[in-house]
Amino acid sequence: MRRQRWQFLAVGVTVVIGVMMFAATYDSYLNLTASYEQTYERLAFADMTITGGDETLPETIEALPGVQAVTVRHTADLPITIGDDTLRGRMIGTPATDQPDVNKIDVETGSYLSADGEFEAVAEVHVARTFDLSPGDTFNIIVGPGQEFEIVGIAASAEYIWPAASTQEIFPAPEQFGVFFVDENLVAQLPPSVSVRETLVLYHDDATTEDVDAAVHDTATAAGATSILTQADQPSNSTLQLDVEGFGEMAIAFPILFLTAAGMAVYVLLTRIVFSQRSIIGTLRASGMSARELRRHYLSFGLWIGTIGAVVGVLLGAVSGALMTRMYTGFLDIPDTVIVIRPSTIIVGLLFGVIVGTLSALVPARAAYKIEPAEAMRGAAPLMSGGKSLLEKIIPPLSRLSVRTRMTLRGMGRSKRRSLATVLGVVLALVLVLASGGMIDSIVNMIQKQFEVVNVQDASVIASEPVSTDLFAEIDATTGVTRAEPVAGFSASTTANGETLATTLQGFEAGTQMHGWTNPAGSLPSSGMLAGAGIADKLGVSIGDRLAIDLPTHDISIELEIVEFVDEPLGIPLYARYDVITEALRDAGIADPEALMAEPTVTTAMTLFDPAIERTATIDRLEDVNGVLAVQDARSLYNTVQQFLGLFYAFTGIMLLFGAVMAFSLMFNTISVNIAERSTEFATLKASGMSDRTIGWMIVGENLFLTLLGIVPGVILGVWMAGLFMGLFSNDSFNMSLMMSPWTVAVAAASMIAVALLSLIPGVRSVKKLDIGAVVREQAV
Amino acid sequence: MSEPAVVAEGLTKIYGEGDTTTTALDDVSFSINQGEFVVLLGPSGSGKTTLLNQIGALEGATSGSLVVNGSEIAGMSDKERTEYRRSTVGFVFQFYNLVPTLTAHENVALIAEITGDEPDARSDLVLGKVGLEDRSGHFPAQMSGGQQQRVAIARGIVKDPPLLLCDEPTGALDLETGRSILELLKSTAAGTDRTVFLVTHNSTIAEMADRVIRLRDGKVVGDDLNPNPSLPVELRW
Ligand SMILES: Nc1ncnc2c1ncn2[C@@H]1O[C@H](COP(=O)(O)OP(=O)(O)O)[C@@H](O)[C@H]1O
Ligand SMILES: [Mg+2]
């Protein structure tokens, strides 16, 4: 037993990590879900958010069975300034004095709107943090005559836990988008081209969500709503669910990998122990020990490793689960943090350990009680049968290799299960590393594609007036701007086969340099439009279909044919040439479409910057141009993501470390056992004058070969698994496909080889230290 | 007269340290001539294997000197020991210790490879000498104990070592087979300068030796030349 101390430790560590990962991630998953639910419940988060529709819609919906409350409010995105900064302010109408029935807010500092203070606002926590706002600060709306608002409170909202601007705009740059709650009466007064009316629906707790969803959906569609979002599709919630689901998947998949590895290691170790104790076993059997007692004895080994590992794992898991939950809710500003130690997680964690320990001890324990006393007491083990290796049979010329090399090849076949354990260790570790590495690669690649291939503009310049020829010329002439183009952007909604898609329609110049086109033709078509590939699934439409596109802010509908799909990472956008949209507007009966195309709320100019001139200076100069409302730096989100890259890689790093520990534990055990079993053989060869180095190379060769054997299926399975995870994460807002960097694969594979070499060191050293005299004297097996 | 093959002087080997030491060899001295067939005889635990392991440079000595073919073994480095074992000694063990994944031929060739050219031809030659030319493709598990021991002997002599060290080579074999193995050991040494050490606790076997060294409690209690060694077939167990 003492000789196997390190092997037991390695196995134990694997069990601990497996159980710990399970307990920590599964608890975090449940804690997060509970935290969200508590916040959603407390703040009466809408089960359905409907935009537009006729005046009677709220009443009709309130009468539907299962509906508990309906709140109507108006929302408008307006340019505002906070100090020197200009940004898009989302003004959400909310009743003064009293919180609404649906979508309440959680005032963290200051107070809620008061009944008499007309131009009061409550700032949402994200914008408050970005601009360091506190009660008493002000901001200005800069359209029309302009208006100053005083901030009276800072609040969290269930709708903006993740501050997404819309389904199409999951990642607005924090300096360029902020949410404020202001008096509903003010927002309701704005013209319909500026504000939208939203109907928020809350269901009864005991209502069946799917049924009410369906009823509300049908009613709203019939009433001509432009966007119907269930709670599941609500942009903040759906983004957060991605994360939470990720935890959920990981909580099951990764621990299973670890526990499988731990099980293999226990199996290898116990098989070896039973084998080396066979003469004792024979003696005990001969002296009357029953097969049952014997089996129980060896099963108890597995049980102990499993139990001790599980207890330690559950304890560490509970602590790290609580830490993870707190970090997560803190990082995302989730108003409620629910941390519960769940007996169910503890029990399942313990069961995992115990079951893995016992199951993997079953076969060795059976082997123990099946040993024939007479045979076992003879001491020497029955000789394993030899044979050529599979490789030599397949490739006959290999038999011309040196005997040493042939011995190396055949060594792998000595114990097929043990070799399988080594291979499996590599495979499992690679799956773990590549599945997590692949996810992160894909996210990084997705962001990169969005900003380097698709949205190639440096900034969007929003003007307060129609972008006149003069203003346009001035933007173009600003130092640092190399190119400017007018771009029309409309909120749009389109319905087909009973499904509604809320999206944007953007109009670009024919030869635009502001956008990269991922459709097969690689450019904007001269008639019709391009649509995000996700539209096919979402609406059940295909290339060649003509879609009616509602532009709710203008109360008109135009028709455009889908010419090709674009493959963009974010959202399901619609694109057409500027002149194609103008023509479609004319067809829709608009008398002067050119004027409409130049209305301030829909018209922006996109710019490309001179890389030699400092970016922020160019942006500052653009902001100073008379008539320019806001300049949105297209790179700012990209830069934010880049800052988080370190965090992403740290996560992959931890998985790499865990994977390495797992592979090490398995390999270290199989190699130790392999060498222990062959000590007589090695001692004999050393006695015959074979050098330690030659013997060492045979061991290294054998195990490196097994490692390579594991790398191939490991990489395939790991990439496949990563693809599976990505598929699970895709939705309307993210079109995730697996983009695995060859570097990730190379680093993972190289790490496996490094781990194999590392785990060989103790084995090779033990050959060097082998006491030949003692071994040949003992005839130890 | 040529120089002696092995000379031990005051050779002492103490195992363990502190309170629990065992003196396995206690001031052992002898001188063996080249080509002698030496039997190391003594009861179990008397130090026979320890002495053989000393001559094979498998273990270091506590004190004393052991000179083989003019070289002192005691002070050798690990590297020199490996080189010494490779060039000077062949081993034959009680339990054969063949590599189970290699055929008879390969087991011999494995050692032939590290000690010279044309390993295959040399291996075939010695397998012929031990009477196993038709079994060279068999794996150990497919052979009887006697056959395995023949392979082990072939492996021991394939490098043509000046010393062949055999530790109870017949201990696991039946009488008939044991005799044939002894026969083989004797015949392969006949007509060469090879010195053979054979460890046994069976005094009958001593009758075939040129010289018998008796050990008891780690001490040499007898060192006798046998003017008329008997043939193995004449041995009576
Ligand atoms: N590695 C060791 N450690 C301690 N004692 C040992 C060791 N090897 C052998 N001995 C002891 O040395 C003595 C001689 O052993 P050995 O040479 O194997 O005897 P023989 O071969 O004559 O049976 C015995 O008492 C044995 O217990
Ligand atoms: Mg002995």
Interchain pair B111, A690: CB under 8 A: yes
Which residue, by CA, sits nearest to atom 24 of ligand 1?
B45
Interchain pair B141, A407: CB under 8 A: no
Structure tokens at A520: 């097969």
* Mean of pLDDT values over A228-242: 87
Parallel/antiparallel/unpaired status of strands B37-41 and B211-216:
parallel
CA A39/CA A47 separation, integer angstroms: 13
How confident is the model at residue A778, as a pLDDT?
66
Which of A406, A388, A396, A400 minimizes the C-alpha distance to B120? Answer: A400
Residue A776 Cα to ligand 1 midpoint, Å, equals: 12
How confident is the model at residue A749, as a pLDDT?
93
CA A290/CA A151 separation, integer angstroms: 82
How confident is the model at residue A597, as a pLDDT?
63
Query: Does B48 contact ligand 1 (Cβ within 6 A)?
Result: yes
CA B203/CA A580 separation, integer angstroms: 112
Parallel/antiparallel/unpaired status of strands A177-183 and A85-94:
parallel
How confident is the model at residue B196, as a pLDDT?
94
How confident is the model at residue A600, as a pLDDT?
40
Binned at pLDDT 50, 70 and 90, residue A602 comes out as: very low
Residue B175 CB coordination number (10 Å):
11
Using one digit for the tens of pLDDT, what is the confidence trace for A201-221? 999 999 999 999 999 999 998
Task: Pick the range with the lowest mean pLDDT from A93-97, A728-732, B37-41.
Answer: A728-732
Cα→Cα distances B168→A1, B93, B149, Å: 31, 7, 11
Closest CA–CA distance from residue A268 to any residue of chain B (Å): 20
Using one digit for the tens of pLDDT, what is the confidence trace for A672-697? 888 888 888 899 999 999 999 999 99
Structure tokens at A378: 């003879």
Nearest ligand for residue B41 CA: 1
How confident is the model at residue A248, as a pLDDT?
79
CA B130/CA A103 separation, integer angstroms: 95
Which of A578, A669, A709, A560 minimizes the C-alpha distance to A15? Answer: A669
How confident is the model at residue A601, as a pLDDT?
44
Which residue, by CA, sits nearest to atom 2 of ligand 1?
B15
Query: pTM surpassing 0.80?
Result: no
Residue A555 CB coordination number (10 Å):
10
On the 0-12 / 13-18 / 19+ scale of CB atoms within 10 A, A606 is buried
Closest CA–CA distance from residue A686 to any residue of chain B (Å): 7
pLDDT at A779 over 60: no
Binned at pLDDT 50, 70 and 90, residue A596 comes out as: low
Strand, coil or helix: A335: coil
Residues 6+ apart with CB under 8 A from A306: A15, A266, A353, A354, A355, A356, A357, A358
Query: Does B50 contact ligand 1 (Cβ within 6 A)?
Result: yes
Using one digit for the tens of pLDDT, what is the confidence trace for B57-108? 998 899 999 999 999 998 888 889 999 999 999 999 888 889 988 999 999 9
Parallel/antiparallel/unpaired status of strands B63-68 and B71-72:
antiparallel
Closest CA–CA distance from residue A250 to any residue of chain B (Å): 43
User: Is-contact A475 A484, C-beta < 8 A?
Assistant: yes
Using one digit for the tens of pLDDT, what is the confidence trace for B29-46? 999 999 999 999 999 999
Which residue, by CA, sits nearest to atom 25 of ligand 1?
B45
CA A279/CA A375 separation, integer angstroms: 8
Classify residue A181 as left (phi > 0), alpha (psi -120 to 50) or beta: beta
Contacts of B55 in chain A (CB under 8 A): none
Structure tokens at A272: 């070896």
pLDDT at A180 over 60: yes
Using one digit for the tens of pLDDT, what is the confidence trace for B200-223? 988 888 888 999 999 999 999 999
Tell which one of B14, B15, B94 to mutate to probe ligand 1, the residue whose CB is within 8 A of the most ligand atoms: B15
Secondary structure (DSSP) of chain B = -PPPSEEEEEEEEEES-TT--EEEEEEEEEEE-TT-EEEEE--TTSSHHHHHHHHTTSS--SEEEEEETTEESTT--HHHHHHHHHHHEEEE-TT----TTS-HHHHHHHHHHTTSS-HHHHHHHHHHHTT-GGGTT--GGGS-HHHHHHHHHHHHHTT--SEEEEESTTTTS-HHHHHHHHHHHHHHHTTS--EEEEEES-TTGGGG-SEEEEEETTEEEEEEE-SSPPPGGG---
Using one digit for the tens of pLDDT, what is the confidence trace for A546-567? 999 988 767 788 999 999 999 8
CA A663/CA A433 separation, integer angstroms: 11
Which of A73, A80, A27 minimizes the C-alpha distance to A46? Answer: A73
CA A408/CA A137 separation, integer angstroms: 76
Range among A485-494, A723-732, B101-110 rated most confident:
B101-110
How confident is the model at residue B226, as a pLDDT?
87
Domains recognised in chain B with CATH numbers: 4-234 (3.40.50.300)
Instruction: Provide ipTM, 2 decimals.
Output: 0.89
Q: Which residues pair with A504 in a beta bridge?
A: A491
CA A576/CA A444 separation, integer angstroms: 28
User: Any idea of the CA torsion for A452, A455, A456, A457, to the nearest 10 degrees?
Assistant: -150
Contacts of A687 in chain B (CB under 8 A): 56, 58, 85, 89, 91
Task: Pick the range with the lowest mean pLDDT from A195-204, A459-468, B91-100, B153-162.
Answer: A459-468
User: Is-contact A679 A431, C-beta < 8 A?
Assistant: no
Residue B46 Cα to ligand 1 midpoint, Å, equals: 8
Ligand 1 atom index nearest CA of B46: 22
Q: Which of A401, A684, A685, A768 has the highest number of chain B CBs within 10 A, making it the mutation to test binding with B?
A: A684
Q: What is the mean pLDDT of chain A?
A: 85
pLDDT at A378 over 60: no
Percentage of chain B with pLDDT > 90? 61
Strand, coil or helix: A461: strand
Contacts of A777 in chain B (CB under 8 A): 49, 53
Of B82, B101, B139, the CB nearest to A689: B82
Which of A383, A135, A421, A484 minimizes the C-alpha distance to A263? Answer: A421
How confident is the model at residue A374, as a pLDDT?
62
Q: What is the mean pLDDT of chain B?
A: 90
Secondary structure (DSSP) of A674-691 = HHHHTHHHHHHHHHTT--
Contacts of B114 in chain A (CB under 8 A): 688-691, 694
User: Is-contact A512 A524, C-beta < 8 A?
Assistant: yes
Residue B147 Cα to ligand 2 midpoint, Å, equals: 22
Contacts of B110 in chain A (CB under 8 A): 403-404, 407, 685, 690
Task: Pick the range with the lowest mean pLDDT from A289-293, A751-755, B55-59.
Answer: A289-293
Q: Which of B54, B99, B105, B139 has the highest number of chain A CBs within 10 A, making it the mutation to test binding with A?
A: B99
Length, in residues, of chain A: 781
Residues 6+ apart with CB under 8 A from A316: A16, A20, A23, A24
Which residue, by CA, sits nearest to atom 11 of ligand 1?
B24
CA angle, residues A614, A619, A623, in degrees to nearest 5:
150
* Mean of pLDDT values over B134-159: 92
Strand, coil or helix: A551: strand
Interchain pair A403, B115: CB under 8 A: no
Amino acid at A467: V
Binned at pLDDT 50, 70 and 90, residue A646 comes out as: low
Classify residue A656 as left (phi > 0), alpha (psi -120 to 50) or beta: alpha
Count Cβ–Cβ pairs < 8 Å, chain A vs chain B.
Answer: 113
Residue A146 CB coordination number (10 Å):
10
* Mean of pLDDT values over A629-645: 73
Rounded to a whole number of angstroms, the distance between the first and last alpha carbons of chain B is 36
Closest CA–CA distance from residue A771 to any residue of chain B (Å): 8
pLDDT at B7 over 50: yes
How confident is the model at residue A375, as a pLDDT?
61
Residues in chain A whose beta carbon is closer than 8 A to a beta carbon of chain B?
380, 383-387, 402-404, 406-407, 410-411, 413-414, 680-681, 683-692, 694, 771-773, 776-777, 779
Classify residue A645 as left (phi > 0), alpha (psi -120 to 50) or beta: alpha
Task: Pick the range with the lowest mean pLDDT from A94-103, A156-165, A591-600, B174-183.
Answer: A591-600
How confident is the model at residue A37, as a pLDDT?
92
Which of A133, A125, A131, A204 minimizes the C-alpha distance to A163? Answer: A125
Residue in chain A nearest B54 by alpha carbon: A773
